[in-house]
Amino acid sequence: MAWMSVAQRMSSTMNHEIVDVVAGVIVSGDGRFLLGQRAPGTFYSGYWEFPGGKVEAGESPGEALCRELDEELGIAVEKFYPWLTRTHEYEHARVRLHFFEVTRWRGEIRDRVHSALTWVAPGGEVCTPMLPANGPILKALTLPRWMGITHVDRLGVEVQLAALDRALAAGLRLVQLRMTGMERFSIERARAAVSKPSVEREAATREVFDAEVVAHEFAREVLARRRVYDEDVVRLAHAAGALVVVNDDPEMARDLGADGLHLPAARLMACDARPDFVWVGASCHVRAELEHAAALGFDYALLGPVKATATHPGGEVLGWEGFSALAAGLPLPVFALGGLTMEDMETARRAGAHGIAAIRAAWGDAGAAPVPRTGKGSDDRRPTL
């Protein structure tokens, strides 16, 4: 779409009512998705899009999806999941696109309205040009459905690395490298200590650690051990083709060559611009945090807790209805978090989650829950984690 000034966009928005449109991300058994090329005589003829169309009066978006895919492709949809919702201003209309992932259908796909159809692998070469409202979806399609969050403060370095190795071999493709509690406090204070002159450094170090037990050189040891551990996590993950995002430490993320940065909710709300990383995500607990992450162009969010957790067994939880209500209508993928395992994947997807993020459940016996062996969940058309 040609660039428009803010005034032009405001004027255009005022002149166009929102048109609700559905789009089906039809996923084959090998993980590829279907694109159709718009026919001559239509708006943006020759552009590629996800099949779908306008929601008619009296229809829900899900009903419109089933009708449109029957009309356009001759298939009867048997299973679909709500996914993302994006609003886009075209010259001729302002559309709100409801994206659904379609994982099971009856009938052979036959082109009825497009000039051509093609199957595309996530992250592979994409047909061009893409319809503007559809283009941002392509990156989200490369985001794995299962995130493992490191738990080294409980497991210890060696056990965590061994559990990570097993999980990667089993198919884990998204890792959040996370520091918690006193470990993070110690690292941050140690960094500050070793940057000072020797006398000040020794005094600063004693503020963090018991002066009778720990000398200022311990600060260097803490940083050195942490560095080796972090490097091992990134090395193992990248060797397996997995993404690594570092929690709340942009300096470490850049130094390690990680794929992205993950922010806690407080850091997210303090941001007024998207951090400069390929992948950026955030932990959220309320709708305002989710909307802020979306407004900044973040790539994903974590939302929870959905269920009680081992660390907060009596804490307040969202439940699936609460999760679904908070995550609905957002343009970014949202992972469900809190007391969940791979067994919850089907329920999570039906509630609109992109997938699940887990701490204990990600690390098999070490985390007191099974390591996921596949990303298929209850549907044999979902081939990857």
State pLDDT tens for residues 271-321. 999 999 999 999 999 999 999 999 999 999 999 999 998 877 778 999 999
Mean pLDDT value across residues 60-66:
98
Reply yes or no on whether the pLDDT at 182 is more than 50.
Answer: no
Joined together, the tokens standing for residue 349 give 């997807």
Q: How far, in whole angstroms, is CA 354 from its chain's centroid?
A: 7
What type of residue sits at position 266?
A
Please tell me the predicted confidence (pLDDT) of residue 189: 55
State pLDDT tens for residues 205-244. 555 444 333 334 544 555 566 678 889 999 999 999 999 9
Percent of the chain with pLDDT over 90: 66
Joined together, the tokens standing for residue 173 give 């493709």
Reply yes or no on whether the pLDDT at 42 is more than 50.
Answer: yes
Average pLDDT over the chain reads: 84
Reply yes or no on whether the pLDDT at 98 is more than 60.
Answer: yes
CATH top class, domain 6-135: alpha beta
Q: Where exactly does CATH 3.90.79.10 map onto the chain?
A: 6-135
Please tell me the predicted confidence (pLDDT) of residue 83: 97
Joined together, the tokens standing for residue 254 give 């850049």
Instruction: Average the pLDDT over each of 41-55, 215-229, 325-339 and give the range with the smallest value.
Output: 215-229
Task: Tell me which CATH homologous superfamily contains domain 146-367.
Answer: Aldolase class I (3.20.20.70)
State pLDDT tens for residues 72-97. 999 999 999 999 999 999 887 899 99
Q: pLDDT confidence of 199, banded at 50, 70, 90?
A: low
Looking at residue 360, the DSSP 8-state letter turns out to be G
Please tell me the predicted confidence (pLDDT) of residue 155: 86
Q: pLDDT confidence of 8, banded at 50, 70, 90?
A: very low
Tell me the C-alpha distance between 175 and 198, whole Å: 37
Expressed in angstroms, the distance from the first to the final Cα of the chain is 34
Taking CA 319 as the corner, what is the angle to CA 315 and CA 325, rounded to the nearest 5 degrees? 125
- Residue (of 106, 172, 99) closest to 334 by Cα position: 99
Please tell me the predicted confidence (pLDDT) of residue 311: 75
Residue whose token pair is 């929102």? 18
Q: Where exactly does CATH 3.20.20.70 map onto the chain?
A: 146-367
Percent of the chain with pLDDT over 70: 78
